[in-house]
Amino acid sequence: MQWRSNALEAQYPHVPVAKQANLFPLYGSDDLDLTLYWHSTTTGQEGHHYIIGMQLTNLEANAQ
């Protein structure tokens, strides 16, 4: 993840490189895991859905 470390160093030059991993995630944290629970009052049916890894940013930005 050298590109991530370089980007953090450029954006936050006052943060020592040795402390970057403790302060910033080195992997993309721009995704969302979502759990939906539902219940239909008309049919009595209920269930749940897991949606894992929904990207919240532009895919091209993550392809560095």
Task: Give the whole-angstrom CA distance, residue 33 versus residue 53.
Answer: 5
State pLDDT tens for residues 5-58.
888 889 889 988 888 878 877 666 677 889 999 999 999 999 999 998 887 776
pLDDT at 4 over 80: no
pTM, full prediction: 0.41
pLDDT of the residue at 17 = 84
pLDDT of the residue at 19 = 86
Amino acid at 53: G
The structural domains of the chain, with segments of one domain joined by +, span 2-58
